[in-house]
Amino acid sequence: MGAERMRGVSGGSPARASTASLVFVAHLKSVPEPEPKPAALIQSVDRAISVLELLAKQGRAGITEIAEELGVHKSTASRLVSVLENRGLVEQQGTRGKYALGFGIARLAAAGTRRLDLTKLSQPVCEDLARRIGETVNVAVLHDRAAINISQGFGAATVAVQNWVGQRTPLHATSSGRVLLAYLDAADREATLDKPLRRYTPHTVTQPAELAAELDRTRRDGFATSFEQLEMGLHAVAVPVFDPRGEVIAAISASGPSYRLSRRRAEEIVPDLAAASAELSAQLGYQH
């Protein structure tokens, strides 16, 4: 009776049963594996960071040692190290040697150091330029869809002192923000401006096509302006700052009241801004 049932299920012959099994196995292989759950992803990231911290502390370690430190099986440790090795964050010393931190770590550290250097180096540049042109000078960087001011200098003509350091300012309505936007590639720019643009004054550009035209003009002319687009009575002009790879890492701007920093004068001080930018970019390692 049991044999009869087996034959009924398989189609009546061992050959058919084998074929059916193969088809079933092939179907299973074609079904995509479920994506890891958030908790599992967080655990993997935490373990990967632990591997890097271990290697930073000890200099080098083998898979067995890494597995013991993490409290996981050697195969799990091996997979983690393999991913880190593929990204250049760790490297194996010798054919079957222990692992150490890779040059990818140095690349990431250099990027972070440049950002810290930018904050330190830009402050005296801002102060010197502010003294020469008599206006408020800021250096801003792109962060989380906004321009963040990291340093500031005040000119002798500054009446009301407003501290912009650490403040977020809109990209589309400021001269610094427009510089940072102008030098993004098209995909990054579109991702950054994926929400409706806020109107701060009657002069704020909120139409994507009009803003795109102004950003193209910024790249062509090498500077951006903002005339009463963020605040009524406030004018500003900015130029890009370059990192060692020739990419725009920041913008340096001068701002002041419209009665003093007229449209004409804003363009007249562009060479001063460009000279300050060249000085700061050179200190960061940029070679024109």
Domain boundaries, the chain: 38-101, 109-283
pTM reported for the whole predicted model: 0.61
- Residues 227-252 pLDDT 10s: 999 999 999 999 999 988 899 999 99
State the CATH class of domain 38-101: mainly alpha
176: Cβ–Cβ under 8 A, 6 or more apart, which residues?
138, 140, 147, 149, 169, 224, 236, 238, 251, 252, 253
Distances (CA, A) of 206 to 115, 117, 143, 200, 216: 30, 34, 20, 9, 16
- Return the pLDDT at 86: 87
Can 38-101 and 109-283 be said to share one CATH topology? no
> Can you name the residues that pair with 143 across neighbouring β-strands?
146
Nearest 5°: phi and psi at 239? -130, 160
Write down the CATH superfamily of domain 109-283. GAF domain (3.30.450.40)
Q: Are 148 and 140 in contact (CB under 8 A)?
A: yes
Q: How far apart are CA 174 and CA 142, in angstroms?
A: 12
104-122 residue pLDDT tens: 776 666 555 556 678 888 9
Tens of pLDDT along the chain (288 residues) come to: 444 444 443 444 454 545 555 544 455 455 555 555 677 778 888 888 888 888 888 888 888 989 888 889 988 888 888 888 888 888 887 666 788 888 677 666 655 555 667 888 899 999 999 999 999 999 999 987 889 999 999 887 665 556 667 788 999 999 999 999 999 988 888 887 878 899 999 999 999 889 999 999 999 999 999 999 999 999 999 999 998 889 999 999 999 999 999 999 999 999 999 999 999 999 888 887
The pLDDT value given to residue 254: 96
Integer Cα distance of 175 and 181 in angstroms: 10
